[in-house]
Amino acid sequence: MRDALSYQARTNHWLTGALVLACVIVAGVGFAIGDTFYLRLATEALIFGGLALAVDILLGYTGLLSLGQALYFGLGAYVSAVTLIAYPSFWGAMGAALATGLIGGLAGGLIANRVRGVYFALITFGMAQVMAKAIYNTRSLGASDGLIGVPVIDINLGLLSVSTASPAGFFLFVLGMITALYLVCAYLMDTPFGRLLIAMRTNEARVPFLGYRTSTLRLGSFMLASVVAALSGALYPMLRGFVSPELLFFATSGNAVITVILGGVGTLVGALYGSLIFTILKSVVGSWTEHHLIVIGILFMLVVIFLPKGMMGLLHALLRRASAGKRP
């Protein structure tokens, strides 16, 4: 039997493959011409793509709008930075971020999942604001200046090792990490667990009558999203060498939501495409005018009105037309 949702997921895998290929080519070209700036920018785009993946799990699959996902991204970044400063080990930093995502996700999920809809959005927003202000006022974490001096490390991958200072090398490494996160999410969304999340988005009231406890499913989804956000955030200080409270601010959470909507809600791969496009736009438009937010705001409105399914919706439609055109 052909399963409509699995079929869509497969199309998204192909689109992810295309993205990975494009990134590898970019890395090669960048390495050849000795570029640093654009490779660093693209690495940052991928890292924020991981945050957008987390938003898409909640928004596109479970039907929950989080306006505070930067909370987990920022916590992951800070935990990673603190770990790296004390003990410069990549896997140590990732392990610490994973634990933070799990524990923070459990605590935050128990709070936020008590409410729905607008109230859920506001609670997630509030939790992120509280944590951002707490860090902003904590001197030992660098307060408003942030934490600087995260060391360059060599990531030992057994056969080879990658330095976080290498523009092309670290870009490819982050590409691998974010692709792995994508694959884990895509796998889970194609299991009965993921299908139940989709069912909750569609008609939450019916789900208990299928025999499943909705509060557990929602908490599972929330924790998955917080782990994905924290692991993505953990890569940030390796790229930039510092972390600052802005990582937890609303602008970060809001940008992640915009990214997902630009790319296509409920596709996962849209989060990655959306993040690359969004970051490039911000940088390119930002180099023309300092009022780049006006341009991005207008673009966002146009996408919502004319491409409600985002870039992936457009690509899916084009692919469908192309495959239909092949048949006589």
Partner 1 sequence: MSSTILEVEDLSISFGGLHAVDGVTFAADRHRITTVIGPNGAGKSTLFNLVSGALRPVRGRVRLDGRDVTGAPPFRMQAAGLARSFQITALFFGLTVAENLRLGAQRLEPTGRLWAPVRRSGRAQARVQALLEQFGLADKAEYLVGALSHGEQRRLEIAVALAAEPKVLLLDEPTQGMSHGDTEVTAAFIRKLAQDVTILLIEHDIGLVMDLSDKVVVMHQGRKIAEGPPAAVRADPAVQSAYFGHA
Minimum Å distance from CB 257 to partner 1? 21
Q: Is 114 a residue that touches partner 1 (CB under 8 A)?
A: no
Which of 24, 65, 143, 198 is close enough to bind partner 1 by CB under 8 A?
A: 198
Minimum Å distance from CB 1 to partner 1? 7
Toward partner 1, which CB reaches closer, 4 or 305? 4
Q: Is 320 a residue that touches partner 1 (CB under 8 A)?
A: no
3 state SS for the chain: CCCHHHHHHHHHHHHHHHHHHHHHHHHHHHHHHCCCHHHHHHHHHHHHHHHHHHHHHHHHHHCCCCCCCHHHHHHHHHHHHHHHHHCCCHHHHHHHHHHHHHHHHHHHHHHHCCCCHHHHHHHHHHHHHHHHHHHHCCHHHCHHHCEECCCCCEEECCCCEEECCCHHHHHHHHHHHHHHHHHHHHHHHCCHHHHHHHHHHHHHHHHHHHCCCHHHHHHHHHHHHHHHHHHHHHHHHHHHCEECHHHHCHHHHHHHHHHHHHHCCCCCHHHHHHHHHHHHHHHHHHHHCCCHHHHHHHHHHHHHHHCCCHHHHHHHHHHHHHHHHHCC
Toward partner 1, which CB reaches closer, 144 or 323? 323
Toward partner 1, which CB reaches closer, 1 or 160? 1
Q: Is 324 a residue that touches partner 1 (CB under 8 A)?
A: no
Q: Is 191 a residue that touches partner 1 (CB under 8 A)?
A: yes
Q: Is 202 a residue that touches partner 1 (CB under 8 A)?
A: yes
Toward partner 1, which CB reaches closer, 36 or 215? 215
Q: For residue 160, how many other CB atoms are within 10 A of its CB?
A: 9
Which of 37, 87, 119, 187 is close enough to bind partner 1 by CB under 8 A?
A: 187
Which of 34, 158, 192, 325 is close enough to bind partner 1 by CB under 8 A?
A: 192
Which of 38, 193, 242, 300 is close enough to bind partner 1 by CB under 8 A?
A: 193
Minimum Å distance from CB 201 to partner 1? 9
Q: Is 308 a residue that touches partner 1 (CB under 8 A)?
A: no
Residues 245-304 binding partner 1 (CB under 8 A) are: none
Residue given tokens 């790296």 in the structure block: 84
Toward partner 1, which CB reaches closer, 180 or 302? 180
- Binding to partner 1 by CB under 8 A, coded x per residue (else -) over 203-222, reads x-xx-xxxxxxx--------
Q: Is 188 a residue that touches partner 1 (CB under 8 A)?
A: yes
Q: Is 322 a residue that touches partner 1 (CB under 8 A)?
A: no
Q: How many residues bind partner 1 (CB under 8 A)?
A: 27
Q: Is 28 a residue that touches partner 1 (CB under 8 A)?
A: no
Q: Which residues of 312-325 are buried (b: 16+ CB within 10 A; e: fewer)?
A: bbebbeeeeeeeee
Residues lying near partner 1 in the complex (CB under 8 A): 1-6, 187-188, 190-193, 195-196, 198-199, 202-203, 205-206, 208-214
